[in-house]
Structure 1
Amino acid sequence: MSKRIVCLRHGQTLWNVEHRFQGHTDIPLDETGIAQAARAGSLLASLRPTLVVSSDLRRANDTALAVARLVDLDVHVDKDLRERGGGLWEGLTREEIASRWPQEYIAWEAPEGEDVADVAARVSAAMRRWAAKLDDDGLLVIASHGAALRLGICAMLGLPQELWSAVGGLGNCSWSVLEEGRSGWRLLEHNAGTLPEPINSDDIPVAD
């Protein structure tokens, strides 16, 4: 028996479609995102989660509720699971960001935004904190955000920062599964739940 964490990215929002950096801005799910959350909820409910936690931002919280309602659990809210802060980039499209801050865009470092190492540390700490509440065979569903989850997963796996870019992003309402083993956490699944498709996220852009 081992503890598992399902890292679930929230459903689609209008800003995802418009390729706008969301960050800490509290954007709701759009109609497609609501449908995605319902589908993911029905699939993940079959795994019988024992604990459901979400970011404090409503796009993640509403996604978590779609799972929790089906298994009669409450959704616990943790601000440390929110997305990477985008500073001056929040609300702007990728084209606007690239035009105004070409060097920062290449590095994907937003002025007045959050450093990736800080995001990885806070998200992984929250993951460990909630996982510690599980029984040995418990399943934790964490509803959060694209960049936050990818960085948190990298930290949970103990990857050095220079290798973080080797881990791909998460599509809307796709998930990754971590399992606790004798030597730490390992990745069982990544970006599951959909066929490969373009990913619109606050995470670092994929190079052309």
Structure 2
Amino acid sequence: MTETAETRRILCWRHGQTAWNAEKRFQGQTDIPLNERGLAQAERAAGLLARLRPDAIVSSDLSRAATTAGFLARATGLRVELDKGLRERFGGRWEGLTTPEIRERWPEENARMEIPDGEDILAVGERVQEAVLRALPRVPEGGLLVVVGHGAALRAGINRMIGLPPEIRQALGPIGNCAWSVLGPHGGGWRLLEHNATSLPETHPLSDDR
């Protein structure tokens, strides 16, 4: 990619709330559906994001992400492409446990967010980046790709794409349910234009690459 050739943007959108989100349980790749609040969040956010006129939508195949993506598909008339590479980080024995339970049983690992029998976070970032780059050719120059996925996986992918060193990966804060972050081209790579947003500012970064 060169700075002159790449003009597309990438909007990374986290799924709506699930029952496990509300209970603060580690979801990982367990396929938990949206709850009533999550469905309402997805419908509201889709109405906003449709105003950005995205050119393509790619989503994790886990139902909480695919259902979220479906609201935007209906609002725009676009088709959702599913990609397993956008799945959440595999959490091993942590999946289904609450934050206090994980903290009590694996205090050191939890502090480092290193899941004993789970997926390495750097590997997650790599596969998410690969999935994004697979979908990007579907978008014309100057267009917008919407990537629908999961909190930890999307953050890992963003870290990878903007080149944030692993030792300071936590400098990028979490993405809330149905919030989004925007990446734009910069210097032959990518930069973060917006993070953990839930509304459209009056002057949106999608309209200005300076």
1:144 equivalent in alignment to 2:137: no
SS in 2 for 1:2: coil
Task: Please give the per-residue CA displacement for 1:52-100, whole angstroms capped at 9, x wherever unaligned.
Answer: 0100100000010111111101110000001001011000101111111
Q: Residue 46 of structure 2 aligns to which amino acid in structure 1?
A: G
- Paired with 2:81 and 2:66, the residues of 1 have a C-alpha distance of 9
- Residue 21 of structure 1 is matched in structure 2 by 26
- Residue 203 of structure 1 is matched in structure 2 by none
- Paired with 1:107 and 1:4, the residues of 2 have a C-alpha distance of 32
Q: Residue 144 of structure 1 aligns to which amino acid in structure 2?
A: G
- Paired with 1:57 and 1:6, the residues of 2 have a C-alpha distance of 19
Question: 1:125-144 alignment to 2 at 5 Å?
Answer: 125-144=130-149
SS in 2 for 1:186: strand
SS in 1 for 2:134: helix
Q: Residue 41 of structure 1 aligns to which amino acid in structure 2?
A: A
- Paired with 1:86 and 1:189, the residues of 2 have a C-alpha distance of 28
Any runs of at least 4 consecutive aligned residues in structure 1 with deviations exceeding 6 A, and if so which? none
Q: Tell me if the contact between 1:83 and 1:144 (Cα under 8 Å) persists in the aligned partners.
A: yes
- Paired with 1:57 and 1:91, the residues of 2 have a C-alpha distance of 16
RMSD: 1.2
Question: 1:35-74 alignment to 2 at 5 Å?
Answer: 35-74=40-79
1:124 equivalent in alignment to 2:110: no
- Paired with 2:172 and 2:133, the residues of 1 have a C-alpha distance of 20
- Paired with 2:187 and 2:139, the residues of 1 have a C-alpha distance of 16
- Residue 108 of structure 2 is matched in structure 1 by 103
- Paired with 1:68 and 1:180, the residues of 2 have a C-alpha distance of 25
Q: Return 5+ residue gaps in structure 2 as ranges.
A: 1-5, 200-210
- Paired with 2:89 and 2:47, the residues of 1 have a C-alpha distance of 28
- Paired with 1:182 and 1:130, the residues of 2 have a C-alpha distance of 21
CA shift for structure 1 position 132: 2.8
**Match among 150, 153, 156 for residue 158 of structure 2:** 153
TM-score, normalised on structure 2? 0.89
- Paired with 1:16 and 1:82, the residues of 2 have a C-alpha distance of 16
- Paired with 1:6 and 1:30, the residues of 2 have a C-alpha distance of 23
CA shift for structure 1 position 120: 0.7
**Match among 10, 26, 46 for residue 5 of structure 1:** 10
Q: Residue 74 of structure 2 aligns to which amino acid in structure 1?
A: R
Give percent identity, aligned residues only.
57
Q: Return 5+ residue gaps in structure 1 as ranges.
A: 195-208
- Paired with 2:163 and 2:138, the residues of 1 have a C-alpha distance of 21
Q: Residue 130 of structure 2 aligns to which amino acid in structure 1?
A: A
